[in-house]
Amino acid sequence: MKILISLVLIANTFTMLAQKKVSIQVGDKAPPLNTLTWLRGDPLTSFKPGQYYVLEFSTVSCPPCRKSIPHLAELTRRYQGKINFINVYSSEFDREDDAYIVRIKNLFEKLNQQMPFAVAIDNVQASGKSYGVHSWPDIFVINHTGHVVWRGFLVNELDAVLEKLLAATLNPQAEKIKQSQFSAALQEVEQLKKDGDFLQADQQLKALMTSSPENRGLLLLTQFLLWAGQDASRATAVLETMLENGEDVLWVKLTSPVTQHAAQLPEHLVNKVLYRAFQETVLPEMKASILIQQAHLFKTKALNSKDDRTALHNMYVAQTLIDSLPKVDTARHAEYKTLSLQYQYTTTVLGGSPNETILQDFIKSQPEQFPWTVLIGDVIKIQNITAIKQLMAPVSTCIEDAALMHQYSRVASFGERKAQMMALLGNREAQEATYKKLIVYFSKVNDTKRTTFFKTRLDAR
């Protein structure tokens, strides 16, 4: 499982705001808001002279956008009558998307009482494009003359910015330079990491926490990503700091790296991160993603357990989590059904009685390569001979179908799994024949890399 967020991505977001040529920058006149559908607030096409505005572009599937709602609501109440707050939900595609509009309206209905600010839909990204919005959230502060005086993506930075705005002490260019310097500092951290100077990178992050306390949550997240996979004790210490001090951290962004490195982290901390992330999001698909990660952890514990009762208990917990996935849409429901069948079959294999009916239902669900590969890998790890025999025919069919469709990665993946299964059955001749067929196939399609790989596997047999 790949980490979904990296130091590069964090730094690049700041770089985009500070350096990238976009249509609107600090000092520019704010474009009018056209083609919006307003869910709350009077329709606004231009910014009225003498009034101040905070304009945030969001999307439904953006965790930071969801996390910013309470803070934006608090600011709306604090500056009522002084500053106008507008949250524009952009479509994630530059085309009409009726299903997306439904998702926005559903979110608004669910959080209606938590969103006292004006809310609008930018279905075809018309307004977002005019502002040069490339990622979300993207926040603009507009002054009494209709000019953009600040742009950023962290809502917690607004407190200090808005105080200065109303006190007439906000220096737009100084704020822009500050963002640029912060971006450069994060890029330096990334370079230090690439160079292997983790201690210096860590010192740089600590210095930034002192100079930019409003970004502490982001910097702690970056610090965890720095040490995850490098130094378990340091990564654990950072995680403990975030959890114990109630830091303003986007917990959803931590789920993948924490799950990936769960074997090196205390189990109770991993569970706390997943719990907070689950509580943080209202999106069914995001909640489902977190439950799937939690189930994966329990399944891993089950497969690694030396005690049969403990293994089955953990597998049943994993199965329960998968079966509790929220309903999202038809496509996701079918995907979750396939995942449930995958877990059900693995449970029966772990229990010593592989259920071929469940396996056939799994096959009929037309799984993609990933769940297939995971299921086969689990069976190989358990080393249940009956299950391996049950899987042999469908795996062979998968290889043949993939070969006909020139899906080379699929042929290689399933071919390697089939060879491993042959070895577990003690059929060395069949294993050798499998490798030879793969070598011939990839030689014919001029795939030198895979041909060499399988020749190496054959020689090492």
φ, ψ (nearest 5 deg) of residue 85: -110, 130
Instruction: Count CB-CB contacts under 10 A for residue 349.
Output: 26
Final residue in a domain of this structure, among 171, 190, 225: 171
pLDDT of residue 344: 96
pLDDT of residue 95: 61
**Domain presence at residue 273:** no
Give how many domains the chain has, as a whole number.
Answer: 2
Classify strands 52-58 and 83-90 as parallel, antiparallel or unpaired: parallel
H or E segment to which residue 90 belongs: strand 83-90
**Domain presence at residue 118:** yes
DSSP letter for each residue of 408-423? HHHHHHHHHHHHHHHH
**Domain presence at residue 287:** no
pLDDT of residue 193: 95
**Domain presence at residue 205:** no
Task: Give the strand order in the sheet containing 37-40.
Answer: 37-40, 118-122, 83-90, 52-58, 138-142, 148-152
pLDDT of residue 5: 39
Final residue in a domain of this structure, among 115, 149, 171: 171
Final residue in a domain of this structure, among 145, 171, 197: 171
**Domain presence at residue 117:** yes
**Domain presence at residue 296:** no
pLDDT of residue 387: 98
In a structure prediction context, what are the per-residue pLDDT tens digits for the chain, which is 461 residues long? 333 334 444 444 444 444 444 468 899 999 999 789 999 999 988 899 999 999 999 988 888 888 899 999 999 999 999 999 999 998 766 666 787 888 889 889 988 999 999 999 997 788 999 999 988 899 999 999 999 999 988 888 899 999 999 999 999 999 888 888 998 999 999 999 999 999 999 999 999 999 988 889 889 999 999 999 999 999 999 999 999 987 778 888 899 999 999 999 999 999 999 999 998 887 788 889 999 999 999 999 999 998 999 999 999 999 999 999 987 777 788 899 999 999 999 999 999 999 999 999 999 998 888 899 999 999 999 999 999 999 999 999 999 999 999 999 999 999 999 999 999 999 999 999 999 999 999 999 999 999 999 999 999 98
Look up the CATH number of the domain holding residue 156.
Answer: 3.40.30.10
pLDDT of residue 123: 78
**Domain presence at residue 81:** yes
DSSP 263: G
Token representation of residue 112: 């209606």
**Domain presence at residue 40:** yes
pLDDT of residue 248: 76
Domain holding 71, by residue range, is 7-171
Long-range residue pairs from 325-328, CB within 8 A, at least 24 positions apart, any chain: 325/288, 325/291, 325/292, 326/284, 326/287, 326/288, 327/284, 328/284, 328/285, 328/288
Distance (Å) of CA 364 to CA 36, 125, 289, 341, 346: 44, 40, 24, 10, 17
